[in-house]
Amino acid sequence: MGSLSDVSETLVADIDGLVLFSPSSGHHQQFGSLDDTPVVVVATENPFDAERFVELPLEFDDVQDRIRYGLEGAMEHGFVEEGDVVACSAATFGDDPDTPDTLVRIRVDEGMRSGVYALFAESRADPSVISDVFEVAIELGKKGQKGKPVGALFTVGDAGKVMNKSRPLSYNPFEKSHVHVGDPIVNVMLKEFSRLDGAFVISDSGKIVSAYRYLEPSAEGVDIPKGLGARHMAGGAITRDTNATAIVLSESDGLVRAFKGGGLILELDPEDY
């Protein structure tokens, strides 16, 4: 008959690395340096001066997103590679995020690259701003407007260039305001205005610069998946010509997609969040 210790030994047997997510000082002191196993620290900061460190822009509420981001970052930095088996230690259920309660064994695969790391690490915009816009898009995707599905397009960052490559479709309700995405009241306004055509333009710091913008970049050379329409084409094209990130909610299939550098880098289903 086996024992509980056998279960834990199976999880860490023959691993190629250990990934610590937001470890406390005590946890890092205990496991941050192992004789025969490389250790990667994934956290918002690196107070331990860990040699292998991946900066976490946000403490993702969903532990799967947190692990996905950390492993993508570790692959990007060359800390792990395809075929490696790693153990991931993270806090999932406890009230103290610095106290790990979960150990996951994962085989690293290039197919795990979802674009989450690139979305944050390669953007000029504040990571929390991108997260706030995603939350608005996901909420719209779940509930729509008055029970009906809606589409929406948000550009985040490099607002000056985006404004220069677009024109107004109607009056700009945010022209003289200084409101920022993330404010619950502002998010309600964004959802309400999403009923009308045009893109929202949001600055790197989260200021809502404009609504109802018609994006006018050339679509030539932009490669988006077949079946996606003009809203996605405009989102992809504006990110090719500027340093903005485009987050698009599809009215037809209800998925939320992110574009960067002219290409699709992330796709998610709001019902999974």
> What are 216-230's pLDDT values in tens digits?
888 777 878 888 888
Q: What is the pLDDT of residue 237?
A: 94
Element (H, E) at 119: helix 116-121
Residue linked to tokens 């608005």: 136
Element (H, E) at 137: helix 127-143
Asked whether the CA dihedral 124, 265, 107, 10 is positive or negative, the reply is positive
CA nearest neighbour of 157 among 235, 231, 224: 235
Residue range 203-212: average pLDDT?
94
* CATH numbers and ranges of domains, the chain: 4-114 (3.40.1380.20), 122-272 (3.40.1700.10)
Residue 1 pLDDT greater than 60, yes or no = no
Contact 187, 208 (CB under 8 A): no
Element (H, E) at 90: strand 85-90
> What are 130-171's pLDDT values in tens digits?
989 998 898 888 876 666 778 899 999 999 999 999 999 988
Q: What is the pLDDT of residue 225?
A: 83
Residue 95 pLDDT greater than 70, yes or no = no
> What are 25-36's pLDDT values in tens digits?
888 888 878 878
Question: Given pLDDT bands bounded at 50, 70 and 90, which one contains residue 70?
Answer: very high
Written as six digits, the tokens of 256 are 């939320």
CA nearest neighbour of 130 among 142, 120, 121: 120
Q: What is the pLDDT of residue 94?
A: 66
Contact 167, 214 (CB under 8 A): yes
Q: How far apart are CA 238 and CA 235, in angstroms?
A: 5
